[in-house]
Structure 1
Amino acid sequence: MTAPEPGRRAAGRVALVVNPSAGKGRAQEVLPEIAGRIRDAGHTLDIWLSRDFGEARELIHKAANSAADVVAVMGGDGILHLGVNEAARAQLSGPSAPTLGLIPAGTGNDLCRGLDIGEDPLKALDVILAGHERQIDLARVGEAFIGTIVATGFDALVNRRANDMNWPKGSARYPLALMAVLRTFQPLQYQLTIDGVRRDLDAMLVAVGNTRSYGGGIRICPDADPSDGLLEVTIIHPVGRPTLLRLMPSLYTGKFVSDPCVELLRVRDITIDGPGLVGFGDGEMIGAAPLTVSQVPAALRVCLPPIPTR
């Protein structure tokens, strides 16, 4: 067999863990074509279907500690969050652990969006089959790795409200949840320790980003780069409801950062504390304050598109 190019993998074994209900059944629908393309590319394929979050965690743990060359995870941001954590832990334990492949099939797909993989599952599979891999940074809170954003304020309350909504499905929940929380929201008290320096302030939110977006494309940390060894922190200082409503459309483009109420920081670690604050990471509850978010450089080896040459 001809040796692969540097940064590329040869054909091997792929362990594919799927949440078949993700994206209103989108994952189940596209699975036959995904499986066929992997086999047609010469890979040996094992498919593991999860029925719930707990089973998904168990299957991904087994796959990440198996003899596979790639553990590919297909579904929404919840199961991709599990993939990030189990693959990172396995890789930190040994260099022969599988590379992580990400196939978006949910409604938010913020991790794949932030890694420039995109939202199309078949195009994401092409990234895996192309064989390019790179190390990326991760945020860490306690024992949990975070690929996207740690939310701790207004955004965390919106996340919680959206998670509790039975209707509508998908990312359409977030604007509705936002409007519901906005009716009664008041600025929150924060005690921050930023790279060792204490700072007390009131704010609407403090978001800490490894990648750019959450909530189905809200670019809350628009310049976050998961390969620069730093976290991007976005602080929205106290404003009235009319200002927040005015800023809403520009949250999806990142242009809101030009407003005077927005402050951006680049940090290595930040501790967030304050009365009643809770944190969400990758859309999952990670606990109550105080929360220390640290950047872990080159923590995860993942299949990614090649860096464009200039």
Structure 2
Amino acid sequence: MTSGPTIHLVVNPSAGRGRARRLLPHVHNTLADAVPDGRVVVHIATDYADARKQCLRAVRETTPALHGRRDALVVMGGDGMAHLGLNACAEARADGLDVPLGVIPAGTGNDFCRGVGIPPTVEEATRLVAEGRTSRIDLTEVTGNLAGADRAFVGSVVSTGYDARVNKATNDFRFPIGPLGPLAYGALALGEVARFTPLDYRIEIDGQPRELSSVLVAVANAGHFGGGMKIVPQADVTDGLLDVLLVGDLKRRQVLELLPKLYRGAHVGHPAVEFVRARTVRIDGEAVGRDGSRSPMFAMGDGESLGGVPLNATVRPGLIAVFRA
């Protein structure tokens, strides 16, 4: 019987076109060496739904630390796995469990890791978990018209406009994006420009109502999106605030001009771009077709589908502890 901590390692073996599976033995051994009086329990997920169950089960099996380091949840994969891990740890807080989260970036996007200060390589991120140092970060709690859930927690960006459409097109892409990453995202983004029409938003920022026709409204906790796009470069996951990006009603040509600036974070200061900091944001509205027809607006969070609007985004300061630099 072990007396030390248990590290629950939940793995998406297909992440990075099988890279996660190939590197798993090294990650396991490195973590096992870090807790010689404890154990590393590996959970191999068969699909996204199974990964969610594995993460939730893992945090329920943790026990409070009597001394030394705590039991932990570590997920290995892309942003989808990070999203599942942070949600499992956030939900555990409601049950009085404070389970630290480790993320081993083995996917193609890894935006959550970029935004919260987790090293970009499997080797560095694994070493960071092995060292056992954590710090607390904020999360965005999303409630409203969600698909199959009362709430969801988001670590990076809640997107509802042009960015959400590109995100969904990337998820629906029939072939593996693999190492192309941001290039593939950029190619799909160009394709969406031809089909895009502005959205009519009704929003409230800290209770103050606004109506606007916009290309996108994004609510950021951490500032990276779309495989490295610096959509909110000034975002800070420890400041207890959300960063809201509003992009005005641009022509297609103007969207094309703005797109490369978003990758570099060079859109800050653009006359059509506005940043607002807030604790709560409510988003509602419709997509307007070229014929004047209206259709529901949908939302994405951490690259995953959240559902439709209306939705409410609220910052939850210091909600979870994360192994990070």
Residue-by-residue CA offset, 1:7-43 (whole Å, 9 max, x unaligned): xxx9622110100000111101111110111122224
Contact 1:148 / 1:282 at 8 angstroms: preserved in 2?
yes
RMSD of aligned C-alpha atoms? 1.5
Query: Which residue identity does 1:251 align to in structure 2?
Result: L
User: Deviation at 1:182?
Assistant: 0.2
Aligned CA distance change for structure 1 residues 148 and 83 (closer, same or farther; 3 Å): same
- Asked whether 1:53 is paired with 2:48, we answer yes
CA distance in structure 1 between the aligned counterparts of 2:271 and 2:136, rounded to whole angstroms: 35
> CA separation in 2, counterparts of 1:184 and 1:45?
48
CA deviations 1:171-226 (Å, max 9, x no partner) are 24311221111002121100011100110011100000000111101111111111
Contact 2:31 2:129 in 1 (8 A): no
Aligned residue in 1 for 2:221: 210
> Partners of 2:236 and 2:297 in 1: how far apart?
26
Please point out which of 237, 250, 257 is paired with 1:226: 237
Q: Which residue of 2 aligns with 1:291?
A: 311
Gaps of 5+ in 2: 64-70, 144-150, 287-295
Cα separation, 2, equivalents of 1:240 and 1:128: 46
CA distance in structure 1 between the aligned counterparts of 2:84 and 2:305, rounded to whole angstroms:
13
**How many matched pairs?**
295
Segments of structure 1 that go 5 or more residues without pairing to the other structure are 1-9, 306-310
Moved more, 164-173 or 66-75: 164-173
The residue aligned with 2:157 is 149
* Partners of 1:167 and 1:173 within 8 A in 2: no
Secondary structure of the residue aligned to 2:322 is: strand
Secondary structure of 1:125 counterpart? helix
Aligned to 1:140: 141
Contact 2:119 2:324 in 1 (8 A): no
Equivalent position amino acid for 1:67 in 2 = T
Aligned to 1:108, what secondary structure does the other structure show?
A: coil
Q: How far off is 1:167 after superposition?
A: 2.9
Q: Deviating runs (4+, > 4 A) in structure 1?
A: none
Out of 12, 19, 36, the residue aligned to residue 26 of structure 1 is 19
Give the equivalent residue in structure 1 for 2:58. 63
Deviations along 1:44-87, one digit per CA (max 9) or x if unpaired, are 11111001011111111111111361111101111111100011
- Of 227, 249, 263, the match for 1:238: 249
Q: TM-score, normalised by structure 2?
A: 0.88
Query: Greater shift after overlay, 210-219 or 37-46?
Result: 37-46
Q: Equivalent of 2:78, from 60, 73, 76?
A: 76
**More deviation in 136-145 or 37-46?**
37-46
**Counterpart residue number, 1:7:** none
| 1:168 positional shift | 5.0
**Pair 1:302-2:322 in alignment:** yes
More moved, 295-304 vs 18-27: 295-304
CA distance in 1, matches of 2:7, 2:313: 32
Say if 2:23 is the partner of 1:12: no
Matched, 1:121 2:132: no
Is the Cα–Cα contact under 8 Å of residues 140 and 295 in structure 1 kept in the other structure? yes
Contact 1:165 1:173 in 2 (8 A): no
- AA aligned opposite 1:290: P
The normalised TM-score by structure 1 is 0.92
CA distance in 2, matches of 1:207, 1:144: 16
* Equivalence for 1:93: 95
Distance of 1:230 and 1:243 partners within structure 2: 30
* Structure 1 counterpart of 2:188, from 177, 184, 187: 177
Equivalents in 1 of 2:169, 2:62: separation in Å?
A: 40
SS in 1 for 2:283: strand
Percent identity between matched residues is 40
